[in-house]
Structure 1
Amino acid sequence: MDAIALLKQDHKTVKALLTELADTTNRALKTRTELLQKIATEIRVHTTIEEEIFYPAFKAASDKADDGKMFFEALEEHRAAGDLVLPDLLDTDVQSDQFGGRAKVLKELVEHHADEEEKEMFPRARELMDKAQLQQLGERMAQRKAELG
């Protein structure tokens, strides 16, 4: 699987989990807890493989200032979701109203980030890298993903 297909599959998975979480009620203690752990793992693994493998390859292949802006914006979106909103959500009582609000904010951040990557960064990556490069990146990312579990 090439790098972009792998990342799009990750986006689909985490968006589905976030939608499922958003559809829960305050009474869904076990469901919310389990979904939140799955989401946290998916986000951690996904952002790690992007930051360690995909983004550096994208940046190295890029030749325009706009590519650099995309790169740094993507990193900041990871920081906002993974370092700020997700930890707050993990520390929030899953049966509280506050949990629902924070879950919605995380969902919106992730959806915005994934949509931007899929509409802007990934098409640009296909211009900058050939199929063999994207395939090799995908293999490295899949291996790293397996290591991170």
Structure 2
Amino acid sequence: MNAVTERITPSITSMIRLDHSQVMAVFHRYRPETSIGRKRALVKNVCLSLEVHAQLEEEIFYPALRNVMSGDDVLEKSQPEHDRMRQMIGELRQMCSNDSSIQEPAFDEKFLELMRLVIHHVADEETRLLPAAERLLPDQLGRLGMDMTKRRLELMKPHAAEFAETTVRSFPAGAAAGAALLTAGAVAVGAMLLSRSNRKNMGSSMSRWRH
């Protein structure tokens, strides 16, 4: 990774903390008395964000950590917690398809159950796993952040319209504009980094071919 890319790419631990903050910001806007349409948007936004976040951690962050802290109790229980989150997300998605289900107290209870698990999971990561990564992997955080940016772009691309729509419905107009701009900026940076990487690889290949 060249020096310029390393400077503009957030570290993987910064990106994980930002993901946590985004999910919690949406969660704090959820109220039992919220309208059906907005409840659906809030829940779908959180569910999509958690699914992408969990996959990114499992593909990039956890394997890197296991190389330097294998057998850690908090790290080992992270995957089962993700699996439990996915189960609850599946149940919430099914309930979201029916307006009457969203009006039921069971919908609120299921979402709050998911968020209790998320809060516990986030606390473990932010008090143990992220500081451990910053202590044990200081020279890899930028590269891992770039890997996460590229992979996030791939995972989010098919869901860009859904994420934009649910973000707009989840936040007031001013906040939604800011969130949409931030999302667009993140996608643009990801695309730029991916393009630079591809051009660099192509240039290296052409150089070898000429020689």
TM score, norm. by length of structure 1: 0.89
Residues 85 and 106 of structure 1 are in contact (CA less than 8 Å); yes or no, is this contact kept in structure 2? yes
Residues 19 and 107 of structure 1 are in contact (CA less than 8 Å); yes or no, is this contact kept in structure 2? no
Residue 62 (structure 1) aligned with residue 65 (structure 2): no
Q: What residue in structure 2 maps to residue 88 of structure 1? A: 91
Report runs of 4+ in structure 1 exceeding 6 Å deviation.
none
**Alpha-carbon distance between aligned partners in 2 of 1:137 and 1:70, rounded to the nearest angstrom:** 20
Q: What residue in structure 2 maps to residue 71 of structure 1? A: 75
Q: What residue in structure 2 maps to residue 99 of structure 1? A: 107
One-letter amino acid matched to 1:71 = L
Identity score, percent = 27
One-letter amino acid matched to 2:88 = V
**Alpha-carbon distance between aligned partners in 2 of 1:77 and 1:102, rounded to the nearest angstrom:** 16
Give ranges in structure 1 of 5+ residues lacking alignment: none
Alpha-carbon deviation of 1:51? 0.3
- Could you give the per-residue CA deviations for residues 51-108 of structure 1, whole angstroms, max 9, x where no partner exists? 0000001101225x3x2x22221111111112x2111122222111100111111111
How many residues matched? 142
Q: What residue in structure 2 maps to residue 18 of structure 1? A: 27
Between structure 1 and structure 2, the one with the greater Rg is 2
Residue 6 (structure 1) aligned with residue 10 (structure 2): no
Alpha-carbon deviation of 1:19? 2.1
Structure number with greater CO (CA < 8 Å, separation at least 6) is 1
Residues 74 and 124 of structure 2 are in contact (CA less than 8 Å); yes or no, is this contact kept in structure 1? no
Alpha-carbon deviation of 1:135? 0.8
1:114 aligns with one of 119, 122, 138:
122
**Alpha-carbon distance between aligned partners in 2 of 1:19 and 1:112, rounded to the nearest angstrom:** 16
Q: What residue in structure 1 maps to residue 7 of structure 2? A: none
